[in-house]
Amino acid sequence: MKWKKLTIETTTQAVDFISGLLAELGIEGIEVEDNVPLSEEDKEKMFIDILPELPEDDGTARVNCYLELDQDLEDTAARIQAGLEEFRTFVDVGTGHISFDETEDKDWMNNWKEFFKPFRVDDSIVIKPTWEKLENSCPDDLIVEIDPGTAFGTGAHETTKLCIGNLKKYLKEGDALLDVGCGSGILSIIGMKLGAGCAVGTDIDANAVETAKENAQINHLHLHTSKMETECPSGTVEFLTGNVIVDNTFAKQVGENCYQVVVANILADVIIPLSATVKKHMAEGAYFISSGIIDMKADEVKEALNANGFEIVEEARMKDWVSFVAKIKE
């Protein structure tokens, strides 16, 4: 199968904003080409002996994504261009030139694996691709093996790191965890390894759900496969396809008033309506962790949380991304 490769010429300053824009347009699986040198902190977290030499960083970047041939390319380009013009009011987006090229599946479906190496999220959690060997790990490391496939969730993105940090802080031993928009299942898996009693992940993408199940098994977790006909037993993880925001029947099957922690690493435009419905899943005193929020949308999410009866107990930022931890107001 052939695809159209869309390339946006931009700057490193604008990459995160463009990433958020593409995600809002439903475009998944982007790649970024730049010459930004790794920080010493990044180098310490990567399990690579010899790093490639890069040309001098000139501040430019190329953002690539892949579209099906039958997709309305002109409309997509027009929407991206409109977004770039909006960004120009507060960030340098460079030329913003958009170009197309044709490519085969084999050119991009697996090429990214070359650049996905084991890395350390923090002083205790290491993310390892399933196809890579891990060297120089510590005995007490919590190691998570991931093959994200085409689903979101390698653990490397700032939004996922924010969620992981919040899970370590707010998830207690034995808590029930709900992971809305689970993608590769990485947050559910880490939650279980941090001591969650059980975890349920949901996603509207059936392929993502299958990937999450495979990753759970790779990490030696016990899958609950009853399709939520019974409550998810302690020590198990389950992944389900459905939309908890608009499908009331599915939302009821997922469970009501039973989760001590709900995490949603999605997009601001999804978190906003989710904030109006998520309380039905939360037990008394539960935490709602939301991430995937580009900073230009943070105020909108904060307003929605407040309007829907939440009290924000923590706000964290990493680069251009924001996360909130909220509790239901008493």
For residues 147 and 199, which has the higher predicted lDDT (pLDDT)?
199
Which residue spans within the chain are E strands per DSSP? Answer: 2-11, 31-34, 60-68, 98-104, 119-120, 125-129, 142-146, 176-180, 198-203, 222-223, 236-241, 259-265, 282-294, 310-318, 321-328
Is the pLDDT confidence value at 153 over 90?
no
> What is the DSSP secondary structure assignment for residue 123, as one 8-state letter?
S
* Residues 156, 115: Cα–Cα separation, whole Å: 11
* Residues 131, 143: Cα–Cα separation, whole Å: 14
Res. 41 pLDDT band, cuts 50 70 90: low
Task: Specify the pairing of strand 176-180 against strand 198-203.
Answer: parallel
pLDDT confidence of residue 116: 64
pLDDT confidence of residue 40: 63
Give the burial class of 9: count Cβ atoms within 10 A of its Cβ; 0-12 exposed, 13-18 middle, 19 or more buried: middle
Mean pLDDT of 303-315: 98
Q: Are 308 and 154 in contact (CB under 8 A)?
A: no
Mean pLDDT of 257-265: 97
Main-chain dihedrals φ then ψ at residue 50, nearest 5 degrees: -125, 120
Q: Which segments of the chain belong to CATH 3.30.70.120?
A: 2-112
Res. 67 pLDDT band, cuts 50 70 90: confident
Where is average pLDDT lowest: 96-100, 153-157, 176-180, 255-259?
153-157
Is the pLDDT confidence value at 19 over 70?
yes
Q: What is the share, in percent, of the chain residues with pLDDT greater than 90?
A: 55
Is the pLDDT confidence value at 48 over 60?
no
Main-chain dihedrals φ then ψ at residue 170, nearest 5 degrees: -110, -20
Is the pLDDT confidence value at 257 over 60?
yes
pLDDT confidence of residue 50: 41
Kindly report the number of other CB atoms within 10 A of residue 38's CB atom. Answer: 13
pLDDT confidence of residue 113: 60
116-328 sits in which CATH class? alpha beta
> 96-127: b or e for each residue (b if 16 or more CB lie within 10 Å)?
bebeeeeeeeeebbeeeeeebebbbbeeebbb
Is the pLDDT confidence value at 26 over 50?
yes
- pLDDT tens for 190-201 read 999 999 999 999
For residues 132 and 288, which has the higher predicted lDDT (pLDDT)?
288
Architecture of domain 2-112: 2-Layer Sandwich (3.30)
> Which amino acid is present at 286?
A
Where is average pLDDT lowest: 81-85, 103-107, 164-168?
103-107
Mean pLDDT of the chain: 86
Confidence (pTM): 0.71
Q: Which segments of the chain belong to CATH 3.40.50.150?
A: 116-328
Of 44-53, 58-67, 232-241, 300-309, which one has max mean pLDDT? Answer: 300-309
Kindly report the number of other CB atoms within 10 A of residue 299's CB atom. Answer: 12
Q: What is the share, in percent, of the chain residues with pLDDT greater than 70?
A: 85
Mean pLDDT of 12-40: 84
- pLDDT tens for 156-203 read 688 889 999 999 999 999 999 999 999 889 999 999 999 999 999 999
Q: Are 301 and 268 in contact (CB under 8 A)?
A: yes
pLDDT confidence of residue 103: 73
Is the pLDDT confidence value at 155 over 80?
no
pLDDT confidence of residue 49: 42
